[in-house]
Amino acid sequence: MPRLFFALWPDEDVRRQIAALAQRLPIRKGRPVAYDNWHLTLAFLGDVQAHHRQVLLSGAAQITAPGFSLRLDRSGWWPGSEVFWLAPAVIPDALGELVGKLKALVQARALPLARRPYRPHVTLARGVTAPPVQAQTAGLEPILWNIRDFCLLESISGAAGVRYEALEIWPLSSG
């Protein structure tokens, strides 16, 4: 069964900026997330049966929401999940509205949805067992990410590890 999630998928310019910033951050140990896998999850669905996938694709195509800017300007570490991340200090209202619409879509179809609180972030490394040096994470040079679309991603496991593939991308409105 495919593992699916709705996400924001950075363009090449934003990926290059994240890569440059990640080189300067104090990530200790752990496994870096592959450049091509960087994303910001909107709603994690987990294992989804094939017939539900089509329902999600059709429902997401009906969502209307405005585009917005996201400022990635802080980094941190969650010791429980051993994740080092990059995130916005301020969550734009438009991001919260998009997440709310996607969660409503999933719940209206009686599909399972992750229950943990929503904390938008881009995972830079997993298995990070030691905290970063705080002095080095202060004064982060922000990355401005202009969000113009959202997508449904599939997590595909292979011999070389996990990779994410966009199944469909939907535009956000420009006005």
Give me the active site residues, please.
39, 121
Closest CA to 154 of 141, 170, 162, 166: 166
Tokens read off for 118: 């929503």
Q: 40-47 and 161-171: which strand pairing?
A: unpaired
- Do 65 and 98 meet the contact criterion of CB atoms below 8 Å apart? yes
Other C-beta atoms closer than 10 Å to the C-beta of 29 total: 11
Measured CA to CA, the distance from residue 58 to residue 164 in angstroms comes to: 20
DSSP state of 29: S
**Dihedral of the CA atoms 165, 65, 147, 121 (nearest 10)?**
-70
The letter for the amino acid at 64 is T
